[in-house]
Amino acid sequence: MKIQIDNLRFTYPTGLEVLRGISLSIEAGEQVAIVGQNGAGKTTLVRHFNGLLQPASGSVMIGDWDTKKTSVAKLASRVGYVFQNPDEQLFSKDVATEIRFGPRNLGYSKEKIDELVTRALALTELSDKTETNPYDLSPTWRKMVALASVIAMDTPIVIFDEPTTGQDAVNVARIAHVIAELHREGKTVITITHDIDFCAENFERVIALSKGQILLDGPAREVLGQEEILAQTYVDPPQLTRLGKRLGLKETVRNQDEFLSAMRK
Amino acid sequence: MAFINLQNVTYQYPLTKTPVLQNINLQVNEGEFVAVIGPNGAGKSTLCYALAGFVPHFFKGEISGSIEVAGVESSKSTLDEWVMNVGLAFQNPFNQISGAKYTVFEEIAFGLENSGVPREEMKARVEEAMKLTDISDLADRSPYSLSGGQQQRVALTSILVMQPKLLVLDEPTSQMDPIGTREVFSVVRKMAEGGMTVVMVEHKMEWIAQFADRVIALKDGQILLEGKPNEVLTSNILAENGFGVSRYTSTAREAKKQGLWRKENLPVTLDEAVEGFVKRDE
Ligand SMILES: Nc1ncnc2c1ncn2[C@@H]1O[C@H](COP(=O)(O)OP(=O)(O)OP(=O)(O)O)[C@@H](O)[C@H]1O
Ligand SMILES: Nc1ncnc2c1ncn2[C@@H]1O[C@H](COP(=O)(O)OP(=O)(O)OP(=O)(O)O)[C@@H](O)[C@H]1O
Ligand SMILES: [Mg+2]
Ligand SMILES: [Mg+2]
């Protein structure tokens, strides 16, 4: 399912213009990371994808649906969104109910719901916490519950807003695995992240946003190598990219394999 | 005598069946900057609560051992007295806004106002603190309509402005952009050099190695390792226990096997990494 955004502008009721002419398209099945300075407008942008916010001008198309003419409830069948702050999203008395809520709301059959919930629990390794109240979990596990409840909706487009914050190495690997699984199933995954190493290791395309405009958009290797331009939006290149530069490697390297093979040349 | 002195601290929440902190012994000197690392559920936030008086004054539960800060014992103090010396930035910045104020400026001034600081001094201190965390341009904004990272900066600033003797920061850069993160570490370093004692929970090893004096690695409520940042952060024990490591460290560990890393010690920071990698043809 394609996302097509044309000249999107958005101003909050406070008068602050936060998105200043964004145009981009994302093809079905792409894995895209969005990076950029605090306040750049990343969260504001993705909230347009599921209709939580409406453009002041310009348009957002999700497949053949114009978000201006489609209800949030309907858009939920195409776009799943994991909030930056999980507490805005969670409201059920236990983890199992929370995760069932989304797919049930989309009207799937009982069998399909059971299957989706079981898979979401397994992917996030929450199977032993189904009876726990989400608010008895630490913020890091609450974020995993938020993630599971969105995966369970089985939407063609999934958006994660800062999924790795506060997660330890094991959970970060788990989230990377979830993203890889969704990719394998052909879903579009859009992830907002400040974790540039995670971004370099898991995404093929990177969009850098700065002050409500697109600063860079392209293959991860090209975008993440642009140290000076990224600095304008308070982003550092990945650790190994910076190291490669300092060591005088000719090509931009993004991960351990690329770095070591460049060192062996 | 140490500024923070934890002796055999064992603690469990009312609802937990096993202790969340087990036999913690920890001494921190005045003006020291200590980083605490550990996997999810290790007890990092609970340790922060213990230092900030919330354990046991707010969370109850069972506690043994003693917690002393600035020569005063926690169990012989009240939370009101305790917070005069200790400032805590909570892990989840989204819940930290007071709800009493209409602008970011007033929100940050709230604590000073309550402690009766004169208007002029208050204004100067708030402006100074906002400069440190780079949020001067948010002064007149509502504290409710901020981005994630902006909220976290406001929460941090409202603690910094109080100039507590002990600053406890629970993942204070989790929502921050990369360059902003580095700046926060650098501000905290300066605070420590000015005599403030800092305990900071963090996952970002590169900056811990560059800015902190000491690292405590916590797992299952126990101190697994403790020492100089480079020593702790490159230890094999961390990698084996599910701790995150800097890419410089993990890559050098692999490169060593291939003869591409020439030093005995592994790197955590960029400068350390630059010094030790060798190209095959060199
Ligand atoms: N509800 C709101 N009302 C008014 N302004 C808002 C609101 N939400 C966000 N803003 C402002 O819009 C701008 C963009 O915010 P947004 O949350 O999109 O940033 P972001 O790129 O996601 O940042 P972060 O990395 O800190 O999460 C910021 O200046 C923010 O203060
Ligand atoms: N209020 C509470 N009541 C009962 N148990 C709790 C409470 N807070 C935390 N725990 C439990 O105590 C243990 C340690 O939790 P703590 O939040 O201190 O870990 P942490 O290292 O900060 O983890 P994270 O990286 O997820 O923030 C966990 O098993 C957690 O479930
Ligand atoms: Mg955001
Ligand atoms: Mg914690």
| pTM, entire model | 0.96
Protein residue closest via CA to atom 17 of ligand 2? B45
Element (H, E) at A221: helix A220-224
At residue B154 the predicted structure's pLDDT band, cuts being 50, 70 and 90, is very high
* Cα–Cα distance, A254 to A6 (Å, whole number): 31
At residue B281 the predicted structure's pLDDT band, cuts being 50, 70 and 90, is low
Which chain B residues touch A235 with a CB distance below 8 Å? 177-179
Cβ(A38)–Cβ(B150) below 8 Å: yes
Residue B282 has pLDDT above 70, yes or no: no
Residue A128 has pLDDT above 80, yes or no: yes
A170 domain-assigned: yes
Q: State the nearest Cα–Cα gap between A64 and chain B, in angstroms.
A: 30
Q: Which CATH number covers residue A13? A: 3.40.50.300
Q: What is the pLDDT of residue B261?
A: 96
The 10s digit of each residue's pLDDT in B19-75 is 999 999 999 999 999 999 999 999 999 999 999 999 989 998 999 999 999 999 999
Residue A260 has pLDDT above 80, yes or no: yes
| Burial tier of B89 (Cβ tally within 10 Å: 0-12, 13-18, 19+) | buried
Residue B248 has pLDDT above 90, yes or no: yes
Q: Sign of the CA dihedral B270, B271, B273, B277?
A: positive
Mean pLDDT of A55-67: 98
CA angle, corner A129, sides to A128 and A130, nearest 5? 100
At residue A115 the predicted structure's pLDDT band, cuts being 50, 70 and 90, is very high
Q: How far is CA B206 from CA A87, A200, B185, in A?
A: 30, 17, 11
The 10s digit of each residue's pLDDT in B207-238 is 999 999 999 999 999 999 999 999 999 999 99
At residue A136 the predicted structure's pLDDT band, cuts being 50, 70 and 90, is confident
3-state helix, strand, coil in chain B (%, to 5): 40, 20, 40
Q: How many domains are contained in chain A? A: 1
Query: In percent, how much of chain A has pLDDT > 90?
Result: 94
A33 is in which domain, residue-wise? 3-78+155-237
A190 domain-assigned: yes
Query: In percent, how much of chain B has pLDDT > 70?
Result: 99
Residue B112 has pLDDT above 70, yes or no: yes
Mean pLDDT of A63-72: 97
A219 domain-assigned: yes
A138 domain-assigned: no
List, as own/partner pairs, every contact residues B24-28 make where C-beta atoms lie below 8 angstroms and the sequence separation is at least 24, other chains included.
Answer: B24/B50, B24/B65, B24/B221, B24/B222, B24/B223, B25/B223, B26/B216, B26/B223, B27/B2, B28/B2, B28/B3, B28/B4, B28/B197, B28/B199, B28/B214
A148 domain-assigned: no
- Kindly list the strands in the beta sheet with B72-73, ordered across the sheet, starting from the edge strand earlier in the chain: B21-28, B4-12, B62-69, B72-73
Q: Nearest by CB to A37, from B177, B273, B279: name it.
A: B177
Which chain A residues touch B178 with a CB distance below 8 Å? 194, 196, 234-236
- Ligand 2 neighbourhood includes B42 CB (under 6 angstroms): yes
Nearest to A235 by CA among A198, A178, A196, A187: A196
Average pLDDT over chain B reads 94
A110 domain-assigned: no
At residue B242 the predicted structure's pLDDT band, cuts being 50, 70 and 90, is confident
A207 domain-assigned: yes
Residue A151 has pLDDT above 70, yes or no: yes
Q: Nearest by CB to A162, from B175, B206, B280: name it.
A: B175
ipTM associated with this complex: 0.94
At residue A82 the predicted structure's pLDDT band, cuts being 50, 70 and 90, is very high
Q: State the nearest Cα–Cα gap between B93 and chain A, in angstroms.
A: 9
Among A83-92, A222-231, B100-109, the range of highest mean pLDDT = A222-231
Q: What is the pLDDT of residue B100?
A: 79
- Ligand 1 neighbourhood includes A42 CB (under 6 angstroms): yes
The per-residue b/e assignment along B98-127, b for 16 or more CB within 10 angstroms, e otherwise, is eeebeebbbbbbbbbeeeebeeeebeebbe
| Burial tier of B202 (Cβ tally within 10 Å: 0-12, 13-18, 19+) | buried
Chain B contact present for A238, CB below 8 A: yes
Average pLDDT over chain A reads 96
Q: How far is CA A9 from CA A16, A145, B89, in A?
A: 11, 32, 35
Q: Which residue of A has its CA nearest to B180?
A: A234
Q: Specify which residues A232 forms β-bridges with.
A: none
Which chain A residues touch B141 with a CB distance below 8 Å? 14
Phi first, then psi: give them for residue A219, nearest 5 degrees: -60, 140
Q: Nearest by CB to B244, from A37, A38, A168: name it.
A: A168
At residue B99 the predicted structure's pLDDT band, cuts being 50, 70 and 90, is confident
Residue B58 one-letter amino acid: F
Q: What is the pLDDT of residue B18?
A: 92
* Cα–Cα distance, B39 to B240 (Å, whole number): 12
Mean pLDDT of B241-261: 94
